[in-house]
Amino acid sequence: MSFTLAIVGRPNVGKSTLFNRLVGKRLALVDDQPGVTRDLREGAARLGDLRFVVIDSAGLEMAEDDSLQGRMRRLTERAVDEADICLFVIDARAGVTAADEYFADILRKRARHVIVAANKAEGRAGEAGALEAYALGLGEPLRISAEHGEGMDDLYRVLVPLSDEVEAARPAPIEPVTDVDVGEEPAEGEEADWRPSADRPLQLAVIGRPNAGKSTLINKIIGEDRLLTGPEAGITRDSISVTADFMGTPMRIFDTAGMRKRAKVTDKVEKLSVADGLRAVRFAEVVVVLLDVAIPFEQQDLRIADFAETEGRAVVVAANKWDLEDDKPEKLKTLRESFERLLPQLKGAPMVTVSAKTGKGLDRLHAAILKAHEVWNRRVSTARLNRWLGVMTESHPPPAPGGRRIRLRYMTQVKTRPPSFVVKSTHTDKLPESYLRYLVNGLRADFDMPGTPIRLMLRDQGEANPYRRKAQKISQSGALAKHKNRQKPKS
Annotated binding site: 9-16, 56-60, 119-122, 208-215, 255-259, 320-323
What are the residues whose beta carbons fall under 8 Å from the beta carbon of 361, sequence distance 6 or more? Answer: 318, 322, 352, 353, 354, 355
How is residue 59 annotated by DSSP?
A: P
- Cβ–Cβ contacts within 10 Å for residue 477, how many? 10
326 Cβ contact list (under 8 Å, min separation 6): none
| Concatenated DSSP letters of 378-436 | ----HHHHHHHHHHHHHHSPPP-GGG----EEEEEEEETTTTEEEEEESSGGGS-HHHH
Q: Classify each residue of 347-358 as buried b or exposed e, where b means 16 or more C-beta atoms within 10 Å of its C-beta.
A: eebbbbbbbbbe
SS3 271: helix
How far is residue 429's CA from residue 419's CA, in Å, rounded to a whole number?
23
Give the count of alpha carbons within 13 A of 489, CB side only: 1
Strand partners, 8: 88
Please report, as a single letter, which amino acid is at residue 154.
D
Binding residue positions for GTP = 9-16, 56-60, 119-122, 208-215, 255-259, 320-323
Pairing of strands 420-425, 249-255: unpaired
For 97, left (φ over 0), alpha (ψ -120 to 50), or beta?
A: beta
Q: How many CB atoms lie within 10 A of CB 440?
A: 18
Provide the Cα torsion 186, 282, 291, 455; round to 10°: -70
Which helix H or strand E contains 143, and what residues bound it? Answer: strand 142-143
**Contact status, residue 145 vs residue 122, Cβ threshold 8 Å:** yes
Distance in angstroms (rounded) separating the CA atoms of residues 289 and 280: 13
C-alpha atoms less than 13 angstroms from C-alpha of 43 in its C-beta half-sphere: 23
Closest CA to 43 of 238, 249, 197, 235: 238
